[in-house]
Amino acid sequence: MTADSPPDARRGVLLAVLAGCSFVFPMSIFILSPLLVDVSREFQVSIAQAGALVTFTALPSALLAVLIGPLSDYLGRRPLLVGGTSLLALASFAATVAPTYELMVASRILSGLGAAAMGPSIFAAVGDLFPYAERGKAYGWTVGANTLASIMGIPMATLLAAAFSWRWSFAMVGIATGVAAIVLAWLYRPAALATPSEAAGSADPDQPIRSRATLIQSYRAGYRAVLQTRSALAVCGSSFSMSVGLMAFETYLGALLINRYHIGTGELAPIFGLAGLGTLIGAQIGGRLGDRVGHKPFMSLSVVASLPFLLVLAYSNVGLAVAAALNFFRNIPMGMRFTAASAIISEVVPGARATMQAINQSSFNSGVMLGSFLGGIIVEQYGYNHVALLTVVGALTSASLVARFVVEHRGTVPQPVGEEQASLLLTEPA
């Protein structure tokens, strides 16, 4: 840690705020999996049409993150974090009262827009605050908070749906996200809490590009930095292919368990909670080990390690308890992967960190959109369990791209970041 780094207490405060934001962020998508059956019944649509709500949530994030993300490098993290979280809260309340399927679709599109605004800034802000040698541990907490949504948030939403209505689940998300927006607006003061990261040399870490280039120049420099860096393209391809398979399976997992084991929506709560605990454990282990030995092995091999558990879960009627255990162990290596990927992504193009996060988020959500769509087709034509085959293809493709093309940069030399400096980050050494 350099002499001008912020005190640990101040960094801890900022990390806690970002972790809280990370907690509410994923619920806009993952909350739908255990609710598909209830939603399809109320709106009198098929399971596949209910699952398409995931696609509509991911669509604006996939399309707009690449436009909104660079604004975080230009305007700073705070406006995007507070604005995106507020929009996500309002969209969740809109879903709570949506009287028709069409208005439910509209609320999900607004949720995706809020996610597009806040997502890149969450992880870019962590990269700003912590040097690479400590970033795995920091991302372990951020990914861990993200995972707590599965351990606490999703099961609670599932129980609310079983006890009252699925609409109460979205109301809970709206309340939690609204609280996060208020806390961010109150506490997130980067000028007081953070200093430039290893890769940023400007006086204000929340505005690393704004003082050196116009908005158009910032866009051009950021995009060029990402698109001409081989590791960055491989990371985005890996995120896309993994999310196609992952979300095809995750979207319809709740419906698979309900139909196979003849359980109610409420009985999914402990299963999803246990899965979230597995991801949390994996995130902590992977972050700490990655800081010591490097994050690339965990990013590439973890998705492959999860496949045996997934295939048994998909194709074997092993009983509900064993199925829950398999889902728990499947999520441990996935948690390791999420933390490793966050650390590597933060340093692939450090001069345009939020732009890189945005393009990666767009790649991931494009995969979510395609995966939920293809998963619906597979479910209707062949059955729930065969969705796992798409997950296998996506995982193997993701691992191969990382192993072959990604170069892990274990920290960078501090330098000013402007258009010319960002463009210098494009080409990797041979």
Q: Quick: pLDDT tens for 289-319.
A: 888 888 888 888 888 999 999 999 999 988 8
Where does the pLDDT of residue 44 fall: very low under 50, low under 70, confident under 90, or very high at 90 and above?
confident
Write down the pLDDT at residue 290: 82
Question: CB 43: neighbour CB atoms within 10 A?
Answer: 17
Domains of the chain by residue range: 8-190+217-424
Q: Which H or E element spans position 240?
A: helix 230-261
Taking Cα atoms as reference points, which of 271, 113, 102, 127 lies closest to residue 196? 127
Nearby residues of 30 by Cβ (< 8 Å), 6 or more positions away: 149, 150, 154, 250
| DSSP codes, 11-23 | HHHHHHHHHHHHH
Residue tagged 């204000």 (tokens): 204
Classify residue 65 as left (phi > 0), alpha (psi -120 to 50) or beta: alpha
Taking Cα atoms as reference points, which of 347, 345, 332, 343 lies closest to residue 301? 332
Q: Tell me whether residue 208 is exposed, middle or buried, using C-beta atoms within 10 angstroms of its C-beta: 0 to 12, 13 to 18, 19 or more.
A: buried
Least confident of 135-149, 249-263, 321-335: 135-149
- Which amino acid, residue 355? T
pLDDT of residue 378 exceeding 80: yes
**Whether the Cβ atoms of residue 27 and residue 150 lie closer than 8 Å to each other:** no
Q: Quick: pLDDT tens for 69-92.
A: 777 777 777 888 888 889 989 998
Where does the pLDDT of residue 7 fall: very low under 50, low under 70, confident under 90, or very high at 90 and above?
low
What CA–CA distance (Å, rounded) separates 339 from 293? Answer: 14
* Annotation: CATH topology of 8-190+217-424: Growth Hormone; Chain: A; (1.20.1250)
pLDDT top residue among 351 and 164 = 164
**Whether the Cβ atoms of residue 206 and residue 77 lie closer than 8 Å to each other:** yes
pLDDT of residue 182 exceeding 60: yes
